[in-house]
């Protein structure tokens, strides 16, 4: 018996079927099982430690991600309507930008359209108002000119503030000119030329005695100045329309804070 045991052990060692490559896949080594179980335990412990060490903000964000995805996949009716109108506005503005560059369909008329836009710029109007104020000798004329100067300054400040808040860019990548930088008219919404043209036309219609043809020409000038900014690609259609609205509101504001003749004379004497 003792001699048969060493023989059976030697036979098992020399048996080819006991080699590792002939063992069944359904009966893996215990060492492999132990290594896999230990690696799973270690990965589970590491994941638990990472979850414990993570910040509560990250947990909230991970919990909120499915809700945000649902909100993006199921937008509200207002969001769909707003995005649709925005897309229509951008598409129509690009189509009407016929003078956006020299290669456009109306590229040859770009200089003329720019000249029309300069007639609605703030710097020439402020300079002209100051010159007329210096040369004016009547109290009524000085009163109107001082309030016009106030309206122009308010227009520049209000439009610049609204543009800084909105920071909307135009339909085309066009850099503002030097006069635009002077009046801080660097963004698209609202259109400063349109608001100024609307405010000036309403101001002149209320405080100047004009014939009917001149009144019609004044309104047409304001419309042409506003939409010329769309033609050169600086503003969207909604930027110009909102500029007309803000121009009218600025006129109403100037009417509410209208400076009397005595106030104007005092300011002129100080100046």
Instruction: Specify the 3-state DSSP secondary structure of 171.
Output: coil
Q: CA-CA distance, 133 to 271, in Å (whole number)?
A: 11
**Cβ contact 249:195 at 8 Å:** no
Tokens of 239: 């930027």
User: Which residues does 174 contact at the CB level (< 8 Å), separation at least 6?
Assistant: 100, 232, 233, 234
39 vs 31: CA distance, rounded Å: 12
**Which of 121, 207, 235, 236 is an active site residue?**
235
User: For this structure, is 193 an active site residue?
Assistant: yes
Is the omega angle on the peptide bond into residue 225 within 30 degrees of 0, that is, cis?
no
Structure tokens at 47: 């994941």
Cβ-contact 90, 205 below 8 angstroms: no
What's 169's DSSP letter?
A: P
Q: Note the residue count of the chain.
A: 271
Catalytic residue status for 236: no
Q: Which of 121, 193, 207, 236 is catalytic?
A: 193
From 226, 159, 240, 231, select the one nearest 197 (Cα to Cα). Answer: 226
Residues labelled as active-site residues: 193, 235
């Amino acid at each position: 018996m003792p001699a048969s045991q060493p023989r059976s052990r030697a036979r098992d060692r020399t048996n080819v079927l006991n080699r590792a490559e002939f063992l069944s896949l359904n009966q893996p080594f215990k060492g492999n099982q132990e290594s896999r179980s230990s690696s799973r335990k270690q990965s589970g412990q590491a994941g638990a430690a990472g979850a414990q060490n993570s910040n509560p903000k990250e947990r909230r964000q991970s919990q909120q991600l499915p809700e945000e995805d649902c909100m993006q996949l199921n937008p509200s009716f207002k969001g769909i309507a707003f995005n649709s109108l925005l897309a229509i506005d951008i598409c129509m503005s690009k189509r009407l930008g016929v003078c956006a560059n020299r290669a456009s369909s109306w590229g040859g008329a770009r200089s003329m359209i720019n000249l029309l836009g300069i007639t609605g710029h703030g710097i020439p109007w402020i300079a002209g108002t100051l010159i007329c104020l210096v040369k004016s000798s009547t109290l009524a004329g000085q009163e109107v000119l001082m309030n016009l100067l106030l309206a122009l300054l308010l227009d520049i400040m209000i439009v610049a503030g609204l543009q800084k808040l909105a920071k909307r860019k135009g339909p085309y990548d066009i850099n503002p000119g030097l006069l635009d930088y002077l009046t801080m008219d660097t963004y698209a919404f609202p259109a400063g030329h349109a608001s100024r043209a609307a405010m000036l036309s309403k101001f002149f219609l209320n405080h100047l005695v004009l014939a009917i043809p001149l009144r019609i020409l004044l309104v047409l000038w304001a419309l042409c100045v506003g939409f010329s900014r769309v033609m050169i690609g600086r503003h969207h259609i909604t930027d110009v329309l909102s500029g007309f609205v803000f121009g009218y509101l600025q006129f109403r504001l100037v009417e509410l804070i209208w400076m009397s003749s005595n106030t104007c004379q005092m300011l002129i004497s100080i100046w």
